[in-house]
Structure 1
Amino acid sequence: MIEVEHLTKRYGPTTAVRDLSFTVRPGHVTGFLGPNGAGKTTTLRMLLGLVAPSGGTATVDGHSFRHHPRGLRHVGALLDAHDVHGGRSARAHLRALARSNRIPAGRVDEVLAEVGLTGTAARRRVGTYSLGMRQRLGIAGALLGEPPVLLFDEPLNGLDPEGVLWVRELFRRLAGEGRTVFVSSHLMSEMEHTADQLVVIGRGELIAAESLTEFAARGTAPTVTVRTPDAGALTMVLTAAGAEVSTYDEETLRVSGVSAGRVGELAFEHRFLLRELTTQAASLERAFMELTADSVEYLAGADAGEARGAGAELREVRR
């Protein structure tokens, strides 16, 4: 189990992590989400003792990682797939890790087979690897000591679709074995298919620590998309029925406040031709955009206005 309590990290006048507290429990894949610059990597590095906190604690099973002898037997981590000596082969790299942590040498070939780096790939110099192969090697290193706790920072970068599916199934299996699996990622669609719990931060502060379902439900309610050649007239009918209507283009409307079924009934009653009637359900991505709108460090053009506007609307509703 991972426990973070009032964790803070300052770099001069900049506070990267501020009074952060959360718990990551075994038996779950917990996604660690936040905009760029939110403090995710700094938090993971403090968990591993690579960065000293300015305040608070970050512990694994009640102890600082520094106090765990033979660390790879307690925590396996992939923080940077490029942090490997390029002149070594994959097998040599893992053998060095195994020796330093008193892990049987036979375990090296087991994890290489598990991540798909066997034969020639295992003997190649890491400097010749693609990013996807480096990610697989990093995952092999994390699994080497069969630890109960695993940390991964953006492990899907550089993987092809087959690799993404493999990682998704791997994380689920590890959690099913009762391990603690903590995964930082910016890929909302993947987290939606992989994680069952979330820790979400922005500007170094906690935004949410809850199940994926609970977090996604905090976003905007489902909306209905309607396409009709009589958009103006249908807008008047829907508004009179209590719906809120906005316009995508001359024929397409976004409707909230009534169900798709009710929109269809009103269109039928008033003889409107519909070319599209679909429901856009609440999603992790939409909830993430809304709830982190004020925490995004860099926003571009229309995306900035949309994200901040969505966040403002949500805060107004909650007052």
Structure 2
Amino acid sequence: MIEVNGLTKRYGDVLAVSDLTFTVPPGQVTGFLGPNGAGKSTTLRMILGLTRPTAGTTTVDGRPFTQRQAGLHHVGALLDAGDVHPGRSAAAHLAALARGNGLPRRRVREVLDEVGLAAVARRRVGGFSLGMRQRLGIATALLGDPPVLLFDEPVNGLDPEGVRWVRRLFRRLAAEGRTVLVSSHLMSEMQNTADRLVVVGRGELIAEETVAEFAARGGRTRVMVGSPQPDRLAAVLTDAGAAVAAVGDGGSAVLAVTGLTAARIGELAHHQRIVLHELTARTASLEEAFMELTAGSADYRAGYRAGYRAEEGR
């Protein structure tokens, strides 16, 4: 389990993370979401002891990660797929890490097989595509067979087959009882992969709940209504108190309706003898909920980011 308590990080006048508290339990895939600049990467670095917090604590299975010897036995992480010497081969890179952490050499072959890089094990990393580097980063995280895993944007550069593979991998790791924390900006992947979410904005916690709970409070259910009489139908529904927006045109336009149930819309159309070609209730998607609930946290100026990076590099 990962526990974050009152975590705060300042870079000069910039508050990157503010009094952040959440837990990542084992046996589930936890998605870590937020707009660009929300403090996700800084938080992951503080969990791993790579960045010192201004205030607050982080523990992995009850202890700060920096207090553990041979860290790959306890936590595996992918933070930056490009953080590998380009002149080394994939096998050499993993072998060096295995030696430093007291791991058997066979683990190098096993993880290269698992991520699909066994055929290029002797190739220099400098010639790898971004997707291949991501797979090598995942292999590095898996090397020590750890109970806790952190991944920062792990599907960047992967093709559709690779994305599906990563999705299955994360769910298998969680099913084995491991703690899996995945930071991503791809809402569709989180909807298909994560069990629960930790959502942050401007360094502060916005939500900590299941994917279904987060999506459900992101907005009202919309009803999509198709009719060859859209103007008349829109007037009837508006008079009944609904909000109506046209999302189609032509012979049978589609209206997006909020404020009335599908059953009530059908009744009103029937009473007014309006023909319907479609009547479908749609709950908010994870992406719609995310955009709505983080709308106030996405306004970042270029000067803010530049200042943040300059401070972070010190």
Settle same-fold status: TM greater than 0.5: yes
Rounded Cα–Cα distance in structure 1 between residues aligned with 2:224 and 2:25? 39
Stretches of structure 1 lacking an aligned partner (at least 5 in a row): 300-319
* Equivalent residues of 2:37, 2:300 under 8 A apart: no
Question: Which residue identity does 2:218 align to in structure 1?
Answer: G
After TM superposition, the structure 1 stretch with the greater mean CA deviation from structure 2, 236-245 or 45-54, is 236-245
1:169-219, Cα deviation, whole Å (9 max, x unpaired): 110111111100000000001100100011000000001111111111111
**What pairs with 1:219-238 in structure 2 (closer than 5 Å)?**
219-238=218-237
> How much does 1:281 deviate?
1.5
Q: In the alignment, which residue of structure 2 is the partner of 1:260?
A: 262
Rounded Cα–Cα distance in structure 1 between residues aligned with 2:149 and 2:248? 47
* Equivalent residues of 2:227, 2:278 under 8 A apart: yes
Rounded Cα–Cα distance in structure 2 between residues aligned with 1:106 and 1:171? 22
Q: In the alignment, which residue of structure 2 is the partner of 1:106?
A: 106
Rounded Cα–Cα distance in structure 2 between residues aligned with 1:238 and 1:38? 40
Question: Which residue identity does 2:135 align to in structure 1?
Answer: R
| Identity %, equivalent residues | 67
Rounded Cα–Cα distance in structure 1 between residues aligned with 2:180 and 2:248? 44
Question: Which residue identity does 1:294 align to in structure 2?
Answer: G
* Equivalent residues of 2:216, 2:283 under 8 A apart: no
Q: In the alignment, which residue of structure 2 is the partner of 1:168?
A: 167
Structure 1 vs Structure 2 CA RMSD? 1.5
Q: In the alignment, which residue of structure 2 is the partner of 1:124?
A: 123
Rounded Cα–Cα distance in structure 2 between residues aligned with 1:52 and 1:244? 49
Q: In the alignment, which residue of structure 1 is the partner of 2:45?
A: 45
Rounded Cα–Cα distance in structure 1 between residues aligned with 2:284 and 2:103? 46
Q: In the alignment, which residue of structure 1 is the partner of 2:89?
A: 89
1:29-76, Cα deviation, whole Å (9 max, x unpaired): 000000000000000011111111111111111211111100000000
* Equivalent residues of 2:29, 2:195 under 8 A apart: yes
* Equivalent residues of 2:167, 2:193 under 8 A apart: yes
Report the 3-state secondary structure (helix = DSSP H, G, I; strand = E; otherwise coil) of the residue aligned with 2:36.
coil
After TM superposition, the structure 1 stretch with the greater mean CA deviation from structure 2, 34-43 or 272-281, is 272-281
Q: In the alignment, which residue of structure 1 is the partner of 2:24?
A: 24
**What pairs with 1:1-319 in structure 2 (closer than 5 Å)?**
1-119=1-119, 121-248=120-247, 251-298=253-300
Q: Which runs of 4+ in 1 moved over 4 A?
A: none
Question: Which residue identity does 1:145 align to in structure 2?
Answer: G
Report the 3-state secondary structure (helix = DSSP H, G, I; strand = E; otherwise coil) of the residue aligned with 1:44.
helix
* Equivalent residues of 1:6, 1:56 under 8 A apart: yes
Report the 3-state secondary structure (helix = DSSP H, G, I; strand = E; otherwise coil) of the residue aligned with 1:104.
coil
* Equivalent residues of 1:36, 1:297 under 8 A apart: no
Question: Which residue identity does 1:82 align to in structure 2?
Answer: G
Q: In the alignment, which residue of structure 1 is the partner of 2:310?
A: none
Rounded Cα–Cα distance in structure 1 between residues aligned with 2:162 and 2:247? 37
Rounded Cα–Cα distance in structure 1 between residues aligned with 2:158 and 2:10? 33
> How much does 1:123 deviate?
1.0
> How much does 1:275 deviate?
4.2
Rounded Cα–Cα distance in structure 2 between residues aligned with 1:212 and 1:42? 23
1:232-276, Cα deviation, whole Å (9 max, x unpaired): 221232234343323446644221122223323332332223344
Question: Which residue identity does 2:96 align to in structure 1?
Answer: A
Rounded Cα–Cα distance in structure 1 between residues aligned with 2:106 and 2:28? 29
Report the 3-state secondary structure (helix = DSSP H, G, I; strand = E; otherwise coil) of the residue aligned with 2:118.
coil
Report the 3-state secondary structure (helix = DSSP H, G, I; strand = E; otherwise coil) of the residue aligned with 1:123.
coil
Question: Which residue identity does 2:92 align to in structure 1?
Answer: A
After TM superposition, the structure 1 stretch with the greater mean CA deviation from structure 2, 234-243 or 175-184, is 234-243
Rounded Cα–Cα distance in structure 1 between residues aligned with 2:267 and 2:298? 41
**TM-score (normalizing by structure 1):** 0.90
